Structure 1
Amino acid sequence: MAVAEPTTDGTYRDRIVAVEPGGNEFIAEADRHGKPRQLFWTWTSPNLEFATIFVGMLAVLAFGMTFWQAVAGIVIGTGLGAAAHYFLSARGPLHGVPQMVLGRMAFGFRGNAVPSVLMSITAGVGWFATNSVSGAFALSTLFGIGPLVALIVIVLLQTGFAFFGHNLVQAFERWSFPFLAVIFVVASVAIFAHADFTTPVAAEGVGGMGGFLLTVGTSFGYAAGWTPYAADYTRYLPSTVSTARTGLFASSGLFLSCVVLEVVGAASVTTGEASLADPTGSFTSELASPLANATLLAIAVGAIAANSINIYSGAMAFVTIGIKLPAHIARALVTVFFGVAGFLVAWWALPDAAHSYEAFLLIIAYWIGPWLGVVFADQYLRRNQPIAEFLYDRSYTNWNGLLSFVIGLVASVLLFANQEKLVGLVTRAVPQLGDVTFFVGFLLAGGCYLLLCKSKIARERDAAPVTR
């Protein structure tokens, strides 16, 4: 059954201080604005934060890599995540809908609720809490206030930006970019000046191929964690913009910011002061007092920049599940809900913030790997097929897409996971593999989708006119 797309009414346009109406509707041409180059700072600013630095610190401290081994793993993992971000971002101007709405083609309207819920929890609660804690500790250290008070300030600011919606979030990323870029460039130069790139491998680290694959996995998990948001920030661009430029600016901002700060994190460990017990303090200990204070402020601002995107897209994914709310305030209401939920989780995590970060990064990759496999396989099979009539059709099903995702996720985790409380069967027998769950999940889910869904999509393609 063909269903017309619900669309925006052309009143939002490029207004910044205005609550974005609606939820996940198609963006009408009257509301389209902006240029692809704005995506560079949209995807640079949210990664100029301490969580990015900590990925590089983990590579050396926890995974037992030398500095140069860490650099190689970071570039590979981030490059894979950025490549996925390129292709998904490029679809936004063409289709004019959020990323998780596009996912309805691969999973069906109801089946898509599974990855949408996973994304809502990951972004609106998991990442929101993780970044809120790092920002709160930075603010607490800088101004000498209690961590809980600092957390409340951080949460209120980032929830406020997300509540107003797309245009204010994009504007804040643009406004914060120069400050964050200057501070982190200066701090990076200072860290590199004290670094010793010949420092031997940490004795307590994993080491070897296993440690390298863990480095690739966490770097990929961090970068690919943004991919379920990709089209959310390109759907307002005019439909006539270059899709290649759209993908290039989005992916280059993501790749550059992640690689630079993760490499800086790895370099900071070689100064001899780094500690997983106090990562923020050990990172800033090598900086002169004024620069250390400016860096702490940048960490707090970077957390707000990241979480404005996290909570906005987390709320967008939740709305996509299909729960009916007042249309004109659906996304804004859900944003407040996730702000409260994320605050409670962050408050609970304050006493031991660093302990579970490694596991969190890998777990993100566990579900995003098979999700990307299904989404890209669907995109390949549907090339040139018009899809607008299916996106809001509640009767549209594609259960084999969800089955492919579940097969890829369950099989890869049971066989290849490498967590403190869950070690896969293959990993237990061959521990030097490290953790390749995300690679296996991607390939297995994508392969299953190609096999199980090819004939269904071929029938749909035959019944539809060809488009670009």
Structure 2
Amino acid sequence: MAGTQAVPIPISEVREGDYGTKVAAVEPGGAEFIPLTERHGRPLNLFWTWTSPNFEFATVFVGVLPMFFGETFTQAALAIVLGSALGSISLGVLSARGPRHGVPQMILSRISFGRFGNILPAGVNALVAGVGWFAVNSVSGTLALSALTGWHEVPCLLLITLVQIAVAFFGHNLVHAFERLAFPLLALVFVVVSVILLGESHPSALNGGGGGIGGFLLTLGATFGYAAGWNPYAADYTRYLKQNENSRSVALWAGAGVFVSCVLLELAGTAAATLVVPNGLWDTDPTAGFIYHITPWLGDVTLVCIAIGAVCANALNVYSGAMSFMALGIKIPLTARRALVAVVFGIAGFLLAWSGLSDAGSKYNNFLLVIAYWIGPWLGVFFTDQFLRRGRNVEPLLFGRKHNPISGVIAMAAAMAISIPLFSNQTDFTGYLAKRHPALGDLTFEAGFVLAAAIYWLLFTILPRSLGQGAAEGAQASVDVTAAEAATA
């Protein structure tokens, strides 16, 4: 790849190596800027990149939650559409920034949090994505494979884990290719299954057992949390697109992929919850509960797709978990540093999934409810900062070592410290206000978002510039280099 390019960031932070469009090659580097000569792909690809990972059982189980929250079918459907829409819109907005800046989402987070303050959101996401989500999805894939083959659960978990790590190890291009190849089968099977379950469902079975507005807000929080759980990954999968790519197309296809898949499978989960299954099955083996009323042969195909969907989801989880870890600023002097970090996260996720094979349903429930607890405050800071810095040149802040404001980390930490003890409402912990006013449901995300945005706006405005806003943005000289020079920088 010869040619001259304008690299609008320090040369030392350009991703090294020759990668291009190769699929069967390990993506080099870590979380650095992607050279302009390495840019490829098109926005349409984002639709299946974000659809396939949601064609899996964790998405279905989000739709089962209203069964525990005492809602009617109509209330559940409305919460599912609204929550998924909000999470998908925010994903689209974040995705649109990837092509312009050419860096992962957690490097973009440095603009508002600074290099050191960004350790909070990047560290949390590394654990939640690379370990937490990996374990959740591995369990569903394992249960599906075990039910299909009759094998013991541990060998099934090991097989699922190896495939997931392999896809993430090779990196960006193979992740996109795998999601595209899996899309036709997953879409066909899950659309058919969803139509069957919706047709056989008994909406009156969810007759609103006292959930009221509180139950509605619990489902809204869970559905938003699930869709928004992808938000900290957004730019990871758009940073290879050409710098002048149409931002609206990027946002549209990324957001549509999450919205369509989440709404379809969550409604299917709600429909399945209206059908009678053996007592306790949703708690002990939720995948079996989902296919209980489906024709056996189609149920077997569905189990295969649940296992494939788990791989699709965890390929992204491990890849983005590694990206978030690299965004912490820890220097690993190896070309394959991202790939090696992905392996480490995969092993940790395997161990956590192993411990979660029993009582999978209730553990799903708790995990899905707490996802939004940190994402809400992070989004509050990120979007407020984006508004306050509109029209400014923020490129120097991505890798600037002197950019260390404290406003972002204080706002996020304070919002979490206030919202979780007051508004959290799930089985392991109920907040002060949620306990005394159950009708509130779980307002942790909403409260965290608003509090973080307000606190950040205040600190951004009143603190000295170095503490509130960080290093000064300004004119930045582009450096003309050849692709070869960038690769060796």
TM-score norm. by structure 2 comes to: 0.91
Deviation at 1:200, TM superposition (A): 4.0
2:159 corresponds in structure 1 to 153
Correspondent of 1:355 among 354, 362, 369? 362
1:432 corresponds in structure 2 to 439
Query: Is 1:128–1:307's contact at 8 Å kept on the other side of the alignment?
Result: yes
Query: Is 1:105–1:398's contact at 8 Å kept on the other side of the alignment?
Result: no
Report the secondary structure of 1:328's partner residue. coil
2:474 corresponds in structure 1 to 464
Query: Is 1:386–1:464's contact at 8 Å kept on the other side of the alignment?
Result: yes
Report the secondary structure of 1:109's partner residue. helix
Please list, as runs of the form range in 1=range in 2, the aligned pairs for 1:205-220 lying within 5 A after superposition: 207-220=211-224
**Alignment-mate amino acid for residue 20 of structure 1:** E
Deviation at 1:11, TM superposition (A): 1.3
1:232 corresponds in structure 2 to 236
Correspondent of 1:121 among 127, 143, 147? 127
Q: Distance in 2 between matches of 1:104 and 1:454?
A: 18
Does structure 1 residue 369 correspond to structure 2 residue 369? Answer: no
1:163 corresponds in structure 2 to 169
Alignment CA distance shift 1:460-1:398 (3 Å): closer
Report the secondary structure of 1:155's partner residue. helix
Does structure 1 residue 181 correspond to structure 2 residue 190? Answer: no
Query: Is 1:4–1:392's contact at 8 Å kept on the other side of the alignment?
Result: no
**Alignment-mate amino acid for residue 20 of structure 2:** R
Alignment CA distance shift 1:5-1:106 (3 Å): farther
Q: Distance in 2 between matches of 1:459 and 1:52?
A: 38
1:49 corresponds in structure 2 to 56
2:397 corresponds in structure 1 to 390
Correspondent of 1:256 among 240, 256, 260? 260
Q: Distance in 2 between matches of 1:140 and 1:459?
A: 52
Does structure 1 residue 273 correspond to structure 2 residue 277? Answer: yes
2:310 corresponds in structure 1 to 303
Query: Is 1:10–1:31's contact at 8 Å kept on the other side of the alignment?
Result: no
User: C-alpha deviations, 1:76-126, integer Å up to 9, x for none?
Assistant: 111111111111000000100000000011111011011111001101111
**Alignment-mate amino acid for residue 368 of structure 2:** L
Correspondent of 1:23 among 24, 30, 42? 30
Query: Is 1:400–1:453's contact at 8 Å kept on the other side of the alignment?
Result: yes
Structure 2 stretches lacking a partner, 5+ long: 1-8, 478-489
Q: Tell me which stretches of 4 or more aligned residues in structure 1 moved more than 6 Å.
A: 457-462
How many residues of Structure 1 are paired with residues of Structure 2 in the alignment? 463
2:386 corresponds in structure 1 to 379
Report the secondary structure of 1:191's partner residue. helix
**Alignment-mate amino acid for residue 150 of structure 1:** C
User: C-alpha deviations, 1:312-363, integer Å up to 9, x for none?
Assistant: 0001101111111124111111101001100000011112211221211121
Q: Distance in 2 between matches of 1:40 and 1:466?
A: 34
**Alignment-mate amino acid for residue 243 of structure 1:** S
User: C-alpha deviations, 1:30-60, integer Å up to 9, x for none?
Assistant: 110010010000000000001100000111x
Report the secondary structure of 1:241's partner residue. coil
User: C-alpha deviations, 1:256-315, integer Å up to 9, x for none?
Assistant: 100110001001111222742232112111111110000000000000000000000001
Q: Distance in 1 between matches of 2:424 and 2:227?
A: 19
Q: Distance in 1 between matches of 2:100 and 2:17?
A: 18
Alignment CA distance shift 1:376-1:463 (3 Å): closer
User: C-alpha deviations, 1:400-423, integer Å up to 9, x for none?
Assistant: 110011111111112111133322
Query: Is 2:95–2:238's contact at 8 Å kept on the other side of the alignment?
Result: yes
**Alignment-mate amino acid for residue 350 of structure 1:** L
Q: Distance in 1 between matches of 2:40 and 2:429?
A: 47
**Alignment-mate amino acid for residue 249 of structure 1:** W
**Alignment-mate amino acid for residue 444 of structure 2:** T
Alignment CA distance shift 1:283-1:437 (3 Å): same
Does structure 1 residue 414 correspond to structure 2 residue 421? Answer: yes
User: C-alpha deviations, 1:344-398, integer Å up to 9, x for none?
Assistant: 0001111221122121112110000000000001111111211222211233201
Alignment CA distance shift 1:466-1:72 (3 Å): farther
Query: Is 1:8–1:31's contact at 8 Å kept on the other side of the alignment?
Result: no
Correspondent of 2:339 among 332, 342, 363? 332
Query: Is 2:407–2:469's contact at 8 Å kept on the other side of the alignment?
Result: no
Please list, as runs of the form range in 1=range in 2, the aligned pairs for 1:194-205 lying within 5 A after superposition: 194-201=200-207, 203=209
User: C-alpha deviations, 1:132-181, integer Å up to 9, x for none?
Assistant: 01001101111111110100000000000000000000100000000100
Q: Distance in 1 between matches of 2:460 and 2:334?
A: 33
Query: Is 2:411–2:453's contact at 8 Å kept on the other side of the alignment?
Result: yes
**Alignment-mate amino acid for residue 269 of structure 1:** A
Alignment CA distance shift 1:397-1:3 (3 Å): farther
Report the secondary structure of 2:421's partner residue. helix
Does structure 1 residue 447 correspond to structure 2 residue 454? Answer: yes
1:314 corresponds in structure 2 to 321
Alignment root-mean-square deviation, CA: 1.8
